[in-house]
Chains A and B, each alone.
Chain A
Amino acid sequence: MGPMNTHVPHTTEPHGAQHYLLATRYNRSALVAHLVLAGIVCAALLAPLVRGPALAQRLSVSLDPPALFSASSQSGALLGTDSLGRDLGARLLLATRVSLAVGGLAVAVACVVGTVLGLLCGYLMGWFDNLVMRVVDALLSLPFVVLAIAIVAAIGPGLVNVAMVLGLTGWITFAKLVRGEVLRIRQQPFVEAARCVGCSHLRILFLHIAPHVLGIVLVGITLTFGQMIIAEATLSFLGLGIPPPTPTLGGILAGAQETFFAAWWLVAFPGVILMAIVLSVNVVGDWLRDYFDPHVPIPVVRRER
C-alpha cells in the first residue's frame, strides 16, 4: 500500500488496507466522502435495473413535480419527470453510471500515458524530457475545455471519443507528478545499488523505481477524476459530448434549460449529484495526499482531546 507512515505510536502497527481503514475512520470528512462515493458507485452499478422507467416516455405526466416534495405528483416519480414524462431519478442513476464510466476510462488513459511518459522523462532526462516538458507547457497554456472542444470538433462526439479526448488532454498532470517523483527517487542509493549489480535500465525503471510512484499516481487519479467528470458534463452540456439518447448529467441539464421556468428539479438534482461526486472525490484525494505524505502525521488511534 505504498510508504507506511512513520508516526504510529503502537508497536503492533496495522498494515496496508487495515492501516488505511483505521486512519480513515478518525478523519470525519474523509470518512463521509468515502461513504458517499461508495454509495454513488453502488447506485451506478445497480442503475441497469431502472433502465425501463428511464426510457419509458409518458407524455401524460410530463414535467411532473417530485413525489418526494410535492403531494400533487401524478407519476409517483420520486424526483419528478422530464418534458417527455421520463422518470428523472432513474435517468439520473443511468447518467451517473455514464459519468463514472467516462471519468474512469479517461483517467485510465491519462494515467497510463502520463505515468509512462513521466517515468521516462524523470529517468532519461535530456532531450526526451525537454521535448515532453515543452509539450506539457504548451498544453498548460490552453484551458482543458478548449482543447477538448477542438479535438471533439475533429473526431466527433460519442462516449468513447469523449473519454479518449479527456484522457489525451489529462495526462499532463500524471506526467508532471511522476516526473518530479522520479527525479527525487533516482538520486537514492538503492537505484545506484541496482545499477551496480548490473540491472538493466528497463528493470531499474519499472521494477525498482515505478513501485515508489504508486502513491503519487493514486493521488493523481483522485485529483483528475473529478476534473474529468466535470469536463465530460461540460462537453455534454454544450452538445459536444455524449449525444442525447444516452442520459448524461450534462445532457439532462442542457435539456432542462428549455423548461427552466416550470421545472426546477431538472436543474437542481443533476447538479447536486455532479457536485456530490466531484466533492467527495476531491476530499478523498486531499486525504490520500496527506496519507501518502510522510511529513503529515496520520493518527490511527483516536486523538486525545
Chain B
Amino acid sequence: MIAYVLRRIVQGLIAVIIVLSIVFLVLNLSGDPVRLMLPPTASDESVAEMRTLMGLDRPLPVRYVAFLQRSAVLDFGRSIQTRRPAISMVQERLPATVQLSVTALFVATLIGVPLGMIAALRRGTWVDRVAVLTSMVGQSTPVFWIALLLIFVFGVAFPILPPSGFGRPAHLVLPSASIALFLVAGITRITRTSTIDVLSRPFVTVFRSRGLSERLILGKHVLRNAAVPIVTEIGLQLRFVIGGSVVVESIFGWPGIGQLLTRAAFGRDFPVVVAAVFVIALCIIAVNLLLDLLYSVIDPRIKVWAR
C-alpha cells in the first residue's frame, strides 16, 4: 500500500510539473511582461536593462529549467502589482477558498445523496421526474447566474442575507449555495443511477424477505454499496467546485484565490497567476489521492494498490 501511495504521489507531482510547463509555455510564448511592468514611455535601454535584471534575456530552455527549480521551492517571483511574493499572496487567500468549497461540497452532498436515493426508490413517480428535471436544469445553469438570482432574491427582494462580504457565517450562505446548486445536480444524478443499480441486486431482495427494516437496508447496505460511484463523482466535481468558487468569489467579494486569480489575470500579473494555478492544481490532485484511498475504506473489496 505504501508503494501505491508513493507511486500516486509521484504521478501527482508529474501532473503538477506538466501543469506548470503548460502555463510557463503559454505565458512565455505570448507578449513581453517587461513592457507591461514599465511605463509605456520607457526607453529601449531601460527595457533591455530590466530584461537582463529579470533574466528574460536568457534562452527559453534555460529559463524553463530555472523556473521549475524555483517552483520546487515555491518561489514564483514577486507580484508585478504589489511587489510581494506571489506565493504568500495565494497562501493568505487559501483558507477563504477552502472554507467556501468545503461548505458547498458538504451542503451539496447532504442534499444530493438523499434526493438521489429518494428518486431511485420512487422511480417513475413525480418525485423522480422532478429530481431528474432539477438535475438536468441545474447542470445547464451557469454558476454566476445562480449567484445573481440568489443575490436578487435573498439580498434585494427579501433582504435577509448579506449580498456580499466576508467574516460572519451569514456571509457564507449565498456564495456556497450558488456553487452547491450546481453540484447537487451532478450528485443527485449519480446517486440515483447508482442506487437503482444496487437496488436490483439479489442481496436487497434477500434482506427484504428476511424482514430487515427498510431504513437499515437503505441507510446501511444500499448506501454503502452505492457509495463508490458517488465518491468518484464528488472527486470529479471538485474541479467544478473550485471553478465555481473562482467565479462566485468575484461576485460576492469573497477574498479567496479565485478573486485573486481573476484580478491578476486582468492586470497580467503573471507570477500571481502561476502561483494560483499551481496551488489549485496541487489541492485538487491531493484531494483526489485521498478520495482514491477512501475507496478501500468504503468498500473493502477494492484494493486500489493491487491494481
Contact = CB atoms under 8 A, between A and B. Distances in A.
Interface of A: 134-135, 137-147, 149-156, 226, 230, 233-234, 237-240, 250, 253, 256-257, 260-261, 264, 267, 270-271, 274-275, 278-279, 282-283
B151 A260 contact: yes
B104 interface: no
A96 to B, nearest CB: 14
B30 interface: yes
A257 B22 CA distance: 34
7 contacts: A135-B18, A141-B285, A143-B239, A143-B242, A150-B27, A270-B145, A279-B136
Nearest to A264: B152
A143 B23 CA distance: 14
A240 B137 CA distance: 26
Interface string B136-154: 1101111111001101100
A261 B163 CA distance: 12
Most chain B beta-carbon neighbours within 10 Å: one of A143, A155, A156: A143
B250 interface: yes
B278 to A, nearest CB: 10
B284 A141 contact: yes
Given A142-B19, A253-B145, A275 B140 contact: yes
A173 B264 CA distance: 28
A146 B15 CA distance: 16
A150 B144 contact: no
Nearest to A276: B140
B73 interface: no
Contacts of A278: 140-142
Contacts of A257: 148, 251
Interface stretch (B45-53, B58-66, B265-273): B265-273
B14 interface: yes
Nearest to A272: B145
Contacts of A146: 242-243, 246, 261, 276-277, 280
Contacts of B212: none
B240 interface: yes
Interface string B8-27: 00010011101100110011
Given A143-B240, A239-B266, 4 more contacts: A145-B243, A149-B246, A271-B149, A279-B136
B136 A283 contact: yes
Contacts of A151: 26
Given A140-B239, A240-B262, A271-B142, A282 B136 contact: yes
Top 10 closest A-B pairs, CB basis?
Answer: A143-B243, A138-B18, A153-B265, A279-B140, A271-B145, A278-B140, A138-B15, A145-B243, A154-B30, A143-B239
Interface of B: 11, 14-16, 18-19, 22-23, 26-27, 29-31, 136-137, 139-145, 148-149, 151-152, 156, 239-240, 242-243, 246-247, 250-251, 261-262, 264-266, 268, 270, 273-274, 276-277, 280-281, 284-285, 288
A82 to B, nearest CB: 15
A271 B140 CA distance: 11
B247 to A, nearest CB: 6
A142 B280 contact: yes
A65 B137 CA distance: 27
A40 B145 CA distance: 20
Contacts of B152: 260, 264, 267
Given A238-B250, A278-B140, A149 B151 contact: no
Contacts of A234: 142-144, 247
B265 A240 contact: yes
A146 B145 CA distance: 18
Nearest to B19: A138
A286 to B, nearest CB: 8
A279 B137 contact: yes
Contacts of A156: 31
Contacts of A237: 142, 144, 247
Contacts of B137: 275, 279
Nearest to A237: B144
B262 A149 contact: yes
Contacts of A264: 152
A141 B262 contact: no
Contacts of B262: 149, 238, 240
Contacts of A145: 243, 246-247
Most chain A beta-carbon neighbours within 10 Å: one of B145, B152, B264: B145
A154 B26 contact: yes
Contacts of B265: 149-150, 152-153, 240
Contacts of B145: 253, 267, 270-271, 274-275
A102 to B, nearest CB: 14
A109 to B, nearest CB: 15
Contacts of A134: 14-15, 18
